[in-house]
Structure 1
Amino acid sequence: MWIELYGYASALCAALIGIMLAVSRRKHPTFKIGSFLFVSISIWLLQLHLFTSGKLIHFPEFIFLHIPFAICTGPLFYLLIQSIFKIEYLWERSQWLHIVFVMILTLFFLPIAWIPTQDKLELFRKNVTVISPFFKSYILFFLSISYIIPGIYIAFSFRFLFNLKILSSAGKEKSIFVFYLILSVFALSKFVTFIGFLSEGFGFLKKVGAFGFSTGVFLIFILLARYPDFLDLLRRGIREIRRQQNRISSDQTVSTLEKIRNLFEVEKIYLDEDLSLKTLAYKLSLRPDQLSQVINDSYGKNFNRFLNNHRIREAIRILKDEPDLKIIHVAMRCGFNSKSSFNESFRRETGITPTEYLKKKSMES
């Protein structure tokens, strides 16, 4: 009985972790992605413990409904690891492909969700005569991919997780050591649970795996409750290690800075609204993370702030020379693709909006 309660409590803790991350004032994508991930884990974990305890039969309408949430854990875990391990992580269009993929699978899952409750109950009792052989295969397919897809995404995450420089630093950096320790608990538990579902003779492994997974959730809950800044510490530690790993030579840094100065001060490349860290890095024959490191170390700001600083300086020059020009036209000439982003960047750099700037200048004159 206590194991069952332990499982339900862990599902509640997973939901609370999701809420804690959702309401966090930190705006980094790590917290939003982590929020969705733990809410999905909460639903999957609750159904897992209902199943292993035999209580799911009392809630037949919930049978199979864990599948889309189990599938979600794969892409969300991958995106979470990306956000933690990348030096500069920005939400890009490519990330939406993972979300769209899950949404498409969820649409195809709907026929299973709409199975009558009585039929779900019979299927839970292993009476498959209530559905056609095709639909039986359809359900088995989704049950399988609820394990396979997370497994594939976990494999995709290996290129980040098994960075030798970061792994070798785990003994020195406590946050990294704890992170890998908890990941190991989850990985082992997931594997044991999967073996339990595949092998009839080892059904007890389902309970063992569920218990281990719940323990991992409790560890994270205690960790975040005790150290709310843990994810920030982890990100900063990993980012610093990757910067040291990817640092270019001092001669190359000097050469790169000269090229950047020429591109920004002479060619005014910042006026191109499509300019990004990737495109500039390609032009300079660097990786985006290397360029980011050069800009951060040399100018004390990230690429976006560096870019917008030049654009706003150009905007101020235009506003002085052509005060009658419409704000939207100034924005477009400086490389901004919308008036709202221009206003926000102008306020961040100067403390006032373009309109307020013009009023101030007219009063001074």
Structure 2
Amino acid sequence: MLLSIGCLVRPEKTASFKILSLLSFCVSIQFLYIFFLLRGIYFEPLFLNHMHIPLAWFLGPGMFSLFSITVRDERVSLTEKSFYLPGLFFLAFFPLFFLAFPESFRSRPLDYFKLGTISWLDILLIGAYSANLLLYFSVVWQTRGVFRWNRLKEDAGARILLFVILGSGSATFVLVLAFLIRDLNLLFASVLGTVIYAVIGYLFQIHSPHVFQEIGPSMREVYRSSRLDGVDTADLETRLDTLMKEEKMYLQEDLSLSALSNQLDIKPYQLSEFLNQRKGTNFSKFVNGFRVAEAVRILAKEDGANILSVAYRSGFNSKATFNLAFKSVTGVSPREFLRKTKVS
């Protein structure tokens, strides 16, 4: 809980610290409820005995968001934000549902282990931890190229990220297993192991704070490089030039990152990373650069060219998009370009 408060009051008001604060708070609540469960401590009104369940639904999404910000160096997408909806829904739903159906919260968490019963609340909790495991697995899968032995030996950031993911994933797995086999001792072991894991991480951060400060930039560089593993970038550049300069794929109005990557026989994220690393641009700017060059050629060659017609012939699907891209590349609007061309 103190770590959660500490993340919030830090002078750096970054998204990563806000997510860390959320994760720390949710984990603290899980610990408290398990402690209350083991001691047989219960509250009134009854729904308060189960408010750890909505918070459990935030753990996986929080870890995934942290991965997006620190490793992929991307903002949390709308899809990723939707991962938080179950937790938000249950936070509001529990007290409201209790007002209408108070007996629905009569079962106690300990009944699941001691009496062998199962309630809808137990199912929701197991579902939360299972969903979290899927998100942890997704993070591991997306960063699998980072955890090669040679990189683990050379990069402290890779070792820390592996420690964080394995620690969180293992604790959650043991927790799910404890519920599945109804073993209180295993539940206690998972809590104890998580506490030890958190203390080790905290002590290491005190001992080597510089490593944690460098983990973001370090891991972003390694992660980006790993996305192009196995890709012959020289050959890719040659084939890309052929498609754009000779076959003029940019003239297709509906050309997308997926369509172009399919032509190149690589994944969309690999083409995106290639354009970012090797060309210093993104897909939209890359394609629009060719389209604007085509438009400049037509405008300079054809007297009295219609601007809307030129936009469509260059691959743009609207005049507004054409005008914005043209000015972004040339510094002037198509109409100003025509005017200057006539004067010269």
AA in 2 matched with 1:232: P
Distance change in 2, residues 1:199/1:329 (3 Å): farther
Deviation at 1:163, TM superposition (A): 3.7
Deviation at 1:236, TM superposition (A): 0.7
Q: Deviations over 1:307-341 (max 9, x none)?
A: 22212222334555577745x76555443456665
AA in 1 matched with 2:294: E
CA contact (8 A) 2:4 2:20 kept: no
Instruction: Give the match for residue 285 of structure 1.
Output: 265
Deviation at 1:199, TM superposition (A): 2.4
AA in 1 matched with 2:218: L
Q: Does 1:308 align with 2:276?
A: no
CA contact (8 A) 1:71 1:146 kept: yes
Give the Cα separation in 2 of the matches to 1:354 and 1:262. 29
Instruction: Give the match for residue 67 of structure 1.
Output: 53
Give 1:246's match in structure 2, choosing from 216, 230, 243.
230
CA contact (8 A) 1:83 1:89 kept: yes
| RMSD, aligned α-carbons | 4.9
Distance change in 2, residues 1:291/1:116 (3 Å): closer
Aligned pairs (5 A) from 1:29-68: 37-38=19-20, 40-52=22-34, 54=36, 57=43, 63-68=49-54
Distance change in 2, residues 1:194/1:273 (3 Å): same
Give the Cα separation in 2 of the matches to 1:225 and 1:58. 46
Deviation at 1:248, TM superposition (A): 1.9
CA contact (8 A) 1:175 1:233 kept: yes
Give 1:271's match in structure 2, choosing from 251, 255, 262.
251
Give the Cα separation in 1 of the matches to 2:163 and 2:259. 37
Give the Cα separation in 2 of the matches to 1:191 and 1:37. 22
Q: Does 1:160 align with 2:160?
A: no
Instruction: Give the match for residue 4 of structure 2.
Output: 11
Give the Cα separation in 2 of the matches to 1:340 and 1:229. 42
Q: Does 1:173 align with 2:155?
A: yes
Count of residues paired in the alignment: 329
Q: Higher relative contact order by CA 8 Å / sep ≥ 6: 1 or 2?
A: 1
Distance change in 2, residues 1:150/1:104 (3 Å): closer
Give the Cα separation in 2 of the matches to 1:220 and 1:338. 55
Instruction: Give the match for residue 114 of structure 2.
Output: none
Instruction: Give the match for residue 230 of structure 1.
Output: 215
Instruction: Give the match for residue 169 of structure 2.
Output: 187
Instruction: Give the match for residue 199 of structure 1.
Output: 183
Give the Cα separation in 2 of the matches to 1:218 and 1:341. 50
CA contact (8 A) 1:67 1:142 kept: yes
AA in 1 matched with 2:57: I
AA in 1 matched with 2:2: A
Structure 2 unpaired stretches of 5+? 112-116
Deviation at 1:171, TM superposition (A): 1.0
Instruction: Give the match for residue 315 of structure 2.
Output: 335
CA contact (8 A) 1:248 1:290 kept: no
Give the Cα separation in 2 of the matches to 1:216 and 1:339. 59
- What TM-score, normalized by structure 2, do the two folds share? 0.69
Deviation at 1:101, TM superposition (A): 6.5
Matched-pair identity in %: 21
Aligned pairs (5 A) from 1:146-157: 146-157=128-139
Deviation at 1:279, TM superposition (A): 1.5
- What TM-score, normalized by structure 1, do the two folds share? 0.65
Give the Cα separation in 2 of the matches to 1:90 and 1:21. 12
Distance change in 2, residues 1:58/1:300 (3 Å): same
Give the Cα separation in 2 of the matches to 1:51 and 1:75. 21
